[in-house]
A = this chain, B = another copy of it.
């Protein structure tokens, strides 16, 4: 009855690049493959003699058995794999999100794979490949360029998808950080230092996070009884070059600000460079604080004051919510992460305004 198994066991793994099969383990332990499967998966509905269990486990270990993910995925129609799409690995902001997602996925027994997709078209095709192709059970999308439009498939009700840090029309749930509050904290820090002429390096108009940060900026100014001057709000792309140029524009104003709140730490790095290039002393003549913290902040000159946001927790929470969706539970359409509160990390780039 088991002859096919035994026969197979005599020929140990002809294929290269892949592990030994259930059949091989079964042959080694002299049981049926299904028994091996049940034992290795800890199937509660299985009753085996302890000795058999040991034999199977030993055989699996001896052969270095690793189940074939494709076969398992096919049979189970799930893969215990989650995907995370990011626009670029280069952006330091994603570091913590990735680590948080990875941590939550691992804790739930899932594998996390990353895919880099710069534009919406790429996100669309990656989404199709991954979700429709059955490669992953769910997808986290952290695309900066993702605006109001979304991949067709996503909108067509093919879900198991969560958007990170963007609110999108439609049924795709998203989880966002409390950008308003974070930016407000930054402005409050500047106000507390005595600044009254505070400018904002705002992000691109179409980006949701940029909008939220800008509105946090305005609100905080109003709350402090300060005017929101039109010229003090400069749009800047979320990269060094954007920050550099926007800063130059601010410095050309006849009445310069004494402090700048940047919506992006990357843009702030560019802005800092613009100050050095034009001989503007930071924080002597101008204070600067940036949204999001990163290792490099303390190694810049001057070290950069930042607004720390719970990005690790954002990645974790998004992953946990995704797992809820996968398990068929409903979750709110938009959730805002409030718990670890935004926190200003004061460094050398912020100081009281010049006596002037």
Contact = CB atoms under 8 A, between A and B. Distances in A.
Given A18-B132, A68-B133, A240-B295, A98 B116 contact: yes
Given A17-B158, A69-B133, A92 B95 contact: no
A94 B70 CA distance: 29
Consensus secondary structure, chain A interface: mixed
Contacts of A138: 17
A17 B131 contact: yes
A74 B71 contact: yes
Contacts of A70: 69-71, 73-74, 79, 134-135
A314 to B, nearest CB: 15
A180 interface: no
Nearest to A138: B17
Nearest to A20: B132
A134 B81 CA distance: 13
Interface in A105-135: 111-116, 128-129, 131-135
A282 to B, nearest CB: 10
B69 A135 contact: yes
Given A89-B95, A269-B299, A134 B77 contact: no
A288 to B, nearest CB: 13
Contacts of A66: 128-129, 132-133
A245 interface: no
A270 interface: yes
A137 interface: yes
Contacts of A73: 69-70
Nearest to A160: B17
A54 interface: no
A115 B66 CA distance: 18
A67 to B, nearest CB: 7
Interface string A81-114: 1000000111010110011001000000001111
A140 interface: no
Contacts of A112: 115
Contact of A240 (B89, B94, B134, B299): B299
Contacts of A160: 16-17
A137 B299 contact: no
Interface string A153-192: 1001111100000000000000000000000000000000
B74 A68 contact: yes
B18 A134 contact: yes
A153 B64 contact: yes
Given A111-B129, A240-B298, 5 more contacts: A17-B326, A66-B129, A89-B114, A269-B299, A273-B303
Nearest 8 interchain pairs by C-beta: A19-B132, A70-B73, A114-B114, A66-B132, A273-B299, A90-B95, A69-B133, A113-B113
